[in-house]
Structure 1
Amino acid sequence: MILYAIFLFTLIFTQEYYDGYLIYTPGGGGGQGVSGSTTYLRSGDGLDIIKSWSHSSGPASMPYLFRTDQPGLENSLLYYPSRSNQTVMDSGGVGGQISIYDWNGTLLWNYVIAGRLNEITNNNRFQHHHDIEPLPNGNILVIAWEELYQSEWSNFGFSTIQNGIVWSTAILELKPNLETGQTEIVWEWYIKDHLVQNVNPSLDNYAENISDHPELMNPNINTIGGGFGGGSDWMHINAIDYNEDLDQIILSSRFMDEIYIIDHSTTTEEAASHSGGNSNKGGDFLYRWGKPENYGRGNESNHLLGDQHSINWIDKNIENGGGNLICYVNQLPTNPSRAAVVEFIPPLMDDGNYYIEDGEPWGPNDYEWIVTATGQNPNFTSSMQGGAFRLPNGNTLISDCDSATIYETDEDGNFIQNSANQDYLYRINAQNAMIARAQKYSPDYFEGEAGILGDLNDDGNINVADIILVVNVILGLTQYNSLADMNDDGNINVQDIILIVNIILFNN
């Protein structure tokens, strides 16, 4: 009896990792490049492999599991961005192709973005790199470089180019046909349509004061040709996320130390303009944050991002920060040798636009939440990629790419220990191994229509029989059942039993 009481006490008061599905694709010594790799779906503690998918090419960033109309994990699809052997532009995060697999590992669709695309009317070369974002309808948002030669980039006011070529940024929306293998490009956005410069007065995008146009990008920020890897990469966009409620896209630029939000409700024609869409701003920036000096506002104290990756919206249903933004900052401006994970609150207004005062930078002026790779915390600093995601129970999942290590913190930033009492969740112990980003999915993410919460035996009543079943789940005698997670924190423990008892005794 005493041991059981201790067990229940431990369930309540110890830190707990989020018991979801952990997914990642290792690179480096864990498998990278054109030669191949494997995607792993593991248990929430990282100890057990639930499923794996083999690939003939290494990862460009992270894989995604897509929930189909058919309920069940086994009916999900794997979306995998990877490195093509046909790349025409090569730099950090280079990819070139996207593949879709079913649960059994059958390749259903593959599309190469490395060269000229028949679906796009101009004759420029394109190259997918880094990230993708599967949309709820199954379409895919893709980050791509668009190669511009002097005959074109000179018309946009670029003046700080060392090697004569600009790899500009394009966002393409692909519509894959899994039956025919065909692909349609249904939406396009180009940064070259949203530039403002004060160098060449004869061009249409000239403005005397860059600071008058925070919604536009100055093409003469940074010297093109001076970056690492491929020197023609101008912005180095490395992450993309989508908010279905807002119909907006967010992007992260490593070279600019900024994130950008654009309107996805536009047509392709509107996306090339400065009007239209829900925002009536076309494809201009609705919001940008991280380094307002890029648009001539603020000062060094407003410089809050550095080389960041993995920008994403926190799910609105998560109590801890729902609707806020979170990202992995590779070089914290106040301590460039160390990384951090930061959460911040964008100044979203009711109409879907973002508040900004005349002459001032977009807020906020500080982080809402931060955990740093300093002091007593593990040093999760990575020079390449890296990830941060808020989990349904309020924990935060952190990926240190360089050391192939995955961490998890609680709401207060305390690092949760694994079963071996180490301050990380999972690590690949292979030379030069990397994990660009890992993610966890909720156990009930892939389920169909749920039953009655607390009714584990599905008899239409909540009673003592259900309490016994919950205890069995806690003790590991039966498998996880999301109907036992009464407080929706991702863990099943004595707190859920108490809530069921309250329903039985008081019908509330």
Structure 2
Amino acid sequence: MIFTRPRTTAAESMTSVSIASLFVISAIVLSGCGGDSNDANEADAPIVPPVSNNAPVANAGGDQTVMSAAVITLDASGSSDTDGDALSYQWQFTSLPDSSAAVLSGASSATPSFSADTDGSYVVALTVSDGTDASVDTVTITAEATDTNHTPVANAGIDRGVTTGDSVTLDGSDSSDADGDPLTYSWTLDSAPSGSSASLNNAATVNPDFSADIDGDYQISLIVSDGSEFSLADSITISSSTDKGSIPVNRSYAIVDTNQNQCYDSSSGDATSCIGSGYDADYSGNQPDYTLSDDGLMVTDNVTGLIWQQSSDINGDGSLTSDDKLYHSDTMSYCENLTYGGRDDWRLPSIKESYSLIQFSGKDPSGYQGTDTAALTPFLDVVFDWAFGDVASGERIIDGQFASSTQYVSTTMNADATTFGVNFVDGRIKGYPSERLPFYVRCVSGNTDYGVNAFSDNGDNTVSDDATGLMWQQDDSDSVNWDDAVAQCEASTTASYSDWRLPDAKELQSIVDYSRSPDTDNQPAIDPIFNASSFNNEAGENDWGFYWASSTHATYNGNGSSATYVSFGRALGYMNGTIMDVHGAGAQRSNNKTSVSATPGAGSSSGASGTFYYHGPQGDILRDNNKVRCVRDIEPSDVTAESEGYTLFSPMQSTDTYLIDQQSNTVHSWQSDYRPGLSVYLMESGELLRPGVITNKPATFAGQTGGSAGVIELLDWNSEVIWQTTLATDSYLSHHDVEILPNGNILAIVWEAKTAAEALALGRTSVSGDSLWADAIYEICRASEQSNCSDGEIVWRWSTWDHIVQDADSSISETYVTDINEHTEKVNLNFFNGSGSADWTHVNSVDYNSAADQILISVRNFSEYWVIDHSDASRGIVTRVGNPSAHGGDGEQTLFVQHDAQFIESGTAGGGNILVFNNGANRPEGNYSSVDELCFQGEDCTPGEMMNSYSEGVSGEFYADHISGAQRLKSGNTLVCEGTEGRLFEYNASHEVVWEYHYGSEIFKATRYMSDHPGLAELN
């Protein structure tokens, strides 16, 4: 019997007879046949009319024409059943183009998908059934190649160091063209060290060369062409030195820091201070650093060189749901057919590439019973889109698994073929059944060497990995628990090194060898260059261990009593009374730091060596005595700063504040609800003074991002808010910086807004928008027994608006003067910064001199610093330095959109002078930054006279066009924050850099505190 969508008279006659009717008719006819019939009973039996059923109508959707390599989602939602019966769906290809290997994912769902992997027609049949009747419809998808030419992408390789005198061969072979067009190459030597005679040989080939004849940096760019279009230029820097020890090393397998900045008490799980115990948050590695492409489609990892899809929304409906997941058989072809950014090297990431993105600032929602996910934190940077499991489709919240190309060389569960995946919701690597679980997909391109180790045996019981820059202990050891493992590494002196540490989860996973397993090789999943001790596991098998990592695996409610580990042996679980490998050697899981028997919800059973404990859906086996292998950096800093102490900073895109020691270890951190706005200070009381950026700015200041704040808070050592005030109305908004006064009150920089009409009425010649903002300094009360003011009260105010003059309109007598230059204590209302912004003056720092009771402010848009009297708010500017044209004068401009003007403390080199980070944009001779020490007042110098200056000049690399700061230290050294680069460094009196730290993203300023600073009492 055939059931089909009604299209012919014959078909219509067939569909008028239901399956149930035919069964009834057959039963009646058959009852009158054979030898055992009872005629009387038959005569008396009533004839039951058949139950009528209306057949469903299948609707496979309309035919489509798509581009080749597109992922197509089919839709049966137009199918219907007039009886209201529930429908089931089954899709199948009835015709495919030659050479196509397309596979339907979710073929029994209403919305399956497939990748149109080649040109041609794909005919798909949909069968819809209501359980009684069925009907069929077909849809044709035609895939066609696009005629659009893609712009090629140049790839000049990576920055690297060489020895002066060497011949350097360049490599453009990673340049690409999505259309497969042949490429031509054009290399240019853009700059070379002074005195160099270097030139490129064979500059029109893929591999030109040159001789690095002088120490210094050689800037080289590459442009490629496909015959129709030219690529954008890609540039690299070749750094040449005669001192091999100074040659920078670029790591092909650089490990990105876990982004874990909180320490936890091992027993209670409570958040605690980081005090250098050896926890993950005590150490800072390569900080996460991402760049989103202009079109929003790609994210470049500036540490690893990998380029990622920003979104995993493969069906393009604007949200991540189960409909965006693919079975593993479709994931590779989906990635390989991508052409984002004109690149043709898209691929499904390996497990090591995928794991490079994990961040252990995330919190595990396992066990969370709620439905509101707003407060849950994923293990992934916010630059990427992400989603929890699709609860509406029957998934768990934790079903956020992303596919990798790494297959387990053995099997898991019931001999299932297994694919490793990273779950960015619960923070784990596990092996998953390859074709029983659909995955989210995030494709990758670039750096094909990522994840490839370069091990060498040092002959002293250590192993170096030149790809990652890490040195490992060759032997492992046993532990009692996680605390013991941490302590072992901190105390280790293997090969006479004293800076060993327990590796974080990402460092530890970097040495997994996914080509090995206990069941296929009778070896652990690690290179044989390492020694790994074996033991009899809970099932009595010869096996290898779980290895502790320093990274805490915190739960959704902030409990940090569990730590991560990586399994180099079988990742055992206890399921249905059987011990088995449930997740594969190379899995990353977690268990309790001190006592697995105390794990909430843990079960226990008897194994080959006695009682064991297990937990979770797959019964993950838990162990207290996980193994230990310590790590250190191959290149620890061999430069010792001349100043002791700790450096405080708050990254601009983070809500955290960090205190680091001279070895670049994080010794403490604070957490806030706000990003910094923008400075941060440690008070002698141990409290953290921190302006914060509010998200809902008053309408007048909506959209302003350059330094805005709105709230000032004080945090105690444990990040609890102990004082807070808001400075945000339609007429004023705090921004940039604050300063604590001896009486405990706080100075704050505030924008004060006037309407355009008000500003024009004062003599402003033009206003580009609805309002004009000038800066004021407010003194904010912190109520105490000694004060006579209310908490948060504005008790003192100095405002630019009270000191303006203009020479444009004599009818406005209130502000008119005939000669601006005769009123240097006043502010020229018509001095324009050229930006057309409402932010007219843009003060970016405030400092206080208690001896003189004077306030120093940096006025960026005037390229000046001003000194004003705290004792007399009615008085105008006492001293101004930097740009005579701002007040109608003549003379040389010395400051250029500067930041962070500070009084140098008495008793310090240069005491009494003023230190300024001179950003240096639009200098007449070219852009470069400098740290300038200028005379304030004294018998031996004139105000504004240059006393000392640090720079690299126009030809150097030291240039930050915005933010940044500097601080003169007690030793006479100077701490510098090159804010745009996230670089902190210290130079001595000879201008030699003696300490350096790279955070990797923007920092407004940094402050050094000596070890005996009273605010560090909790640390000491």
**TM-score for both structures, normalised by structure 1:** 0.69
SS in structure 1 at match of 2:691:
strand
**Cα distance change of structure 1 residues 404 and 411 upon mapping to structure 2, 3 Å threshold:** same
Determine the structure 1 residue equivalent to 2:674: 57
Residue of 792, 804, 826 corresponding to 1:183 = 792
Q: Does 1:372 align with 2:951?
A: yes
Aligned counterparts, 1:1-400, within 5 A = 16-28=641-653, 31=654, 37-43=655-661, 45-68=662-685, 76-88=686-698, 89=701, 90-116=704-730, 125-177=731-783, 182-202=791-811, 203-222=813-832, 226-227=835-836, 231-266=837-872, 271=873, 273=874, 282=875, 284-299=876-891, 302-318=892-908, 320-331=909-920, 333-348=923-938, 363-364=943-944, 366-374=945-953, 379-400=957-978
Deviation at 1:447, TM superposition (A): 7.7
SS in structure 1 at match of 2:992:
coil
- Select between 246-255 and 325-334 the one with higher mean Cα deviation: 325-334
- In structure 2, how many angstroms separate the alpha carbons of the residues matched to 1:217 and 1:438? 30
Deviation at 1:334, TM superposition (A): 4.5
Determine the structure 1 residue equivalent to 2:396: none
- In structure 2, how many angstroms separate the alpha carbons of the residues matched to 1:114 and 1:349? 43
- In structure 2, how many angstroms separate the alpha carbons of the residues matched to 1:297 and 1:308? 19
Deviations 1:144-199 (A, max 9, x none): 11110134223322113222410111111101248999311110111011111111
- Which residue identity does 2:953 align to in structure 1? T
Maintained 8 Å contact 1:309/1:329: yes
Deviation at 1:395, TM superposition (A): 0.4
**Cα distance change of structure 1 residues 447 and 294 upon mapping to structure 2, 3 Å threshold:** closer
Deviations 1:398-432 (A, max 9, x none): 10111111011001211114xxxxxxx11114xxx
SS in structure 2 at match of 1:192:
helix
Maintained 8 Å contact 1:314/1:325: yes
Determine the structure 2 residue equivalent to 1:492: none
Once the two structures are aligned, what percentage of the paired residues are identical?
30
Deviation at 1:349, TM superposition (A): 7.8
Q: Does 1:427 align with 2:998?
A: yes
Maintained 8 Å contact 1:109/1:178: no
**Cα distance change of structure 1 residues 390 and 46 upon mapping to structure 2, 3 Å threshold:** same
Deviations 1:180-233 (A, max 9, x none): 993111101110111111112122221111111111110100167x34xxx200
Deviations 1:84-124 (A, max 9, x none): 112231141111111101122210111121215xxxxxxxx
Deviations 1:243-301 (A, max 9, x none): 010100011111110000000012xxxx2x3xxxxxxxx2x1000000012112223xx
What is the total number of aligned residue pairs between the two structures?
A: 372
Maintained 8 Å contact 1:130/1:143: yes
- Which residue identity does 1:175 align to in structure 2? C
Unaligned runs of 5+ in 1: 1-13, 32-36, 69-75, 117-124, 274-281, 356-361, 418-424, 449-479, 482-508
- Which residue identity does 2:659 align to in structure 1? L
- In structure 2, how many angstroms separate the alpha carbons of the residues matched to 1:244 and 1:169? 22
- In structure 1, how many angstroms separate the alpha carbons of the residues matched to 2:907 and 2:679? 23
Aligned-residue RMSD, C-alpha = 2.6
Deviation at 1:444, TM superposition (A): 2.1
- In structure 2, how many angstroms separate the alpha carbons of the residues matched to 1:95 and 1:335? 35
Task: Kindly name which structure, 1 or 2, has the bigger radius of gyration based on alpha carbons.
Answer: 2
- Which residue identity does 2:690 align to in structure 1? Y
- Which residue identity does 1:326 align to in structure 2? L
Deviation at 1:342, TM superposition (A): 0.4
- In structure 2, how many angstroms separate the alpha carbons of the residues matched to 1:108 and 1:132? 17
Determine the structure 1 residue equivalent to 2:251: none
**Cα distance change of structure 1 residues 181 and 24 upon mapping to structure 2, 3 Å threshold:** farther
Aligned counterparts, 1:480-495, within 5 A = none
Maintained 8 Å contact 1:261/1:286: yes
**Cα distance change of structure 1 residues 303 and 46 upon mapping to structure 2, 3 Å threshold:** farther
- Which residue identity does 1:209 align to in structure 2? D
SS in structure 1 at match of 2:981:
coil
**TM-score for both structures, normalised by structure 2:** 0.35
Determine the structure 2 residue equivalent to 1:277: none
Residue of 988, 1000, 1005 corresponding to 1:437 = 1005
- In structure 2, how many angstroms separate the alpha carbons of the residues matched to 1:380 and 1:397? 14
Determine the structure 2 residue equivalent to 1:412: 990
- Which residue identity does 1:325 align to in structure 2? I
SS in structure 2 at match of 1:293:
helix
Deviation at 1:137, TM superposition (A): 1.8
Maintained 8 Å contact 1:326/1:344: yes
- In structure 2, how many angstroms separate the alpha carbons of the residues matched to 1:232 and 1:447? 39
Deviations 1:57-98 (A, max 9, x none): 111222101113xxxxxxx11100110112231141111111
**Cα distance change of structure 1 residues 87 and 321 upon mapping to structure 2, 3 Å threshold:** same
- Which residue identity does 1:101 align to in structure 2? L
SS in structure 1 at match of 2:961:
coil
**Cα distance change of structure 1 residues 15 and 412 upon mapping to structure 2, 3 Å threshold:** farther
Structure 1: 4+ residue segments shifted above 6 A: 178-181
- In structure 1, how many angstroms separate the alpha carbons of the residues matched to 2:899 and 2:822? 28
Deviation at 1:46, TM superposition (A): 4.7
**Cα distance change of structure 1 residues 42 and 293 upon mapping to structure 2, 3 Å threshold:** same
Maintained 8 Å contact 2:833/2:861: no
- Which residue identity does 1:262 align to in structure 2? I
- In structure 1, how many angstroms separate the alpha carbons of the residues matched to 2:961 and 2:901? 16
SS in structure 2 at match of 1:25:
strand
**Cα distance change of structure 1 residues 336 and 77 upon mapping to structure 2, 3 Å threshold:** farther
Maintained 8 Å contact 1:86/1:114: no
- In structure 2, how many angstroms separate the alpha carbons of the residues matched to 1:80 and 1:175? 16
Maintained 8 Å contact 1:109/1:181: no
Maintained 8 Å contact 2:756/2:767: no
Deviations 1:354-407 (A, max 9, x none): x9xxxxxx843x411001133786x33212210111000000011011111101
**Cα distance change of structure 1 residues 106 and 374 upon mapping to structure 2, 3 Å threshold:** same
**Cα distance change of structure 1 residues 157 and 66 upon mapping to structure 2, 3 Å threshold:** same
- Which residue identity does 1:410 align to in structure 2? N
Maintained 8 Å contact 2:756/2:769: no
- Which residue identity does 1:26 align to in structure 2? P
Determine the structure 1 residue equivalent to 2:274: none
